[in-house]
Amino acid sequence: MALDPIRILVTGAAGQVGGELLQCLAPLGDILAPSRAELDLANPVAIETYLRETEPHWIVNPAAYTAVDKAESEPELAHAINALAPAVIGREAKTLGAKVIHFSTDYVFTGQGTIPWVESDATGPLGVYGATKLAGEQALLATGAEAVILRTSWVYGATGKNFLRTILNLAKAKEELRIVGDQHGAPTWSRDLARLSAHILRSGTFTPGIYHAAGSGETTWAGFADEAVRLTQLRLPEAKLARITPIPSSEYPTPAARPGNSRLNCTKLKETYHYTMLDWHDSLAQVLAELA
């Protein structure tokens, strides 16, 4: 008697990571990719109803309230999606016997210092977004569900709204771009996160816990922009592209404070799941090739 195929729920399928997950996870089972209307993560009852009706074996949850500045004026909505939803997902997953892969962020930390954060470091979010994501981590773990939490940083890709695509568009229209140069971290390709998720599903062993999963190496936002423009200029030698001028964060005030140190140490991920995230230079070159 043939076994039913594995059912894999992917939240936020229209988002950057969600879209890549659909492609990477498709060979591994039947994909459930509900729209926001079908699965409203701000509505706990809707989450319960959907999970009880579909009974997924895996729940992969990249969906989040990610408008960092807007979260300062919409804390209730950010809390509902980033904190309450993971709690409901975890509770239902435990009942179903489903495994969870949940995405989180470097914003759970204070952003101070220069040493890459490890999973056991003390947390200390700077704003509503980070606080709600941290609450979501804690709530999910408290349910006792089998869950892997992947903290990442500076996510970008060839699709969706992200820093890289914004910079490339602006670079074609302006002579100079003044970009923050004192915030340090690593750009992370959305497809690399999706491939990691598929790797975890295929691994045959599931070790719950918190893991850091960000691009290898480090740079600044100005450094990222400069390299993106440099590589684009090589491909389009006749184009007139903006020069990148690094500026301090103090010259670019935002409603929510940004971490100065977004570096994440990914050694635990490598040692446990034998997966090494791509160096940000390599992933950038691949994404730019797709955008060409």
Q: Which segments of 37-181 are extended strands (E)?
A: 58-61, 99-105, 146-152, 155-156, 176-180
| Residues in the chain, total | 292
Backbone torsions φ then ψ of 79, nearest 5 degrees: -65, -40
Measured from the Cβ of residue 116, the count of other Cβ atoms closer than 10 Å reads 20
Q: Are 104 and 136 in contact (CB under 8 A)?
A: yes
CB within 8 A of 119, min separation 6: which ones? 151, 209, 210, 211, 212, 268
Q: Is 65 part of the annotated catalytic residue set?
A: no
CA–CA gap between residue 97 and residue 95 (Å, rounded)? 6
Q: Please name which of 117, 155, 158 lies closest in space to residue 134, comparing C-alpha atoms.
A: 117
Active-site residue among 129, 156, 211, 273?
Answer: 129
CB within 8 A of 150, min separation 6: which ones? 101, 102, 103, 104, 193, 196, 197, 211, 212, 213
Q: Please name which of 60, 35, 54, 37 lies closest in space to residue 198, comparing C-alpha atoms.
A: 60
For the chain, the C-alpha Rg in angstroms (whole number) is 19
Catalytic residues: 129
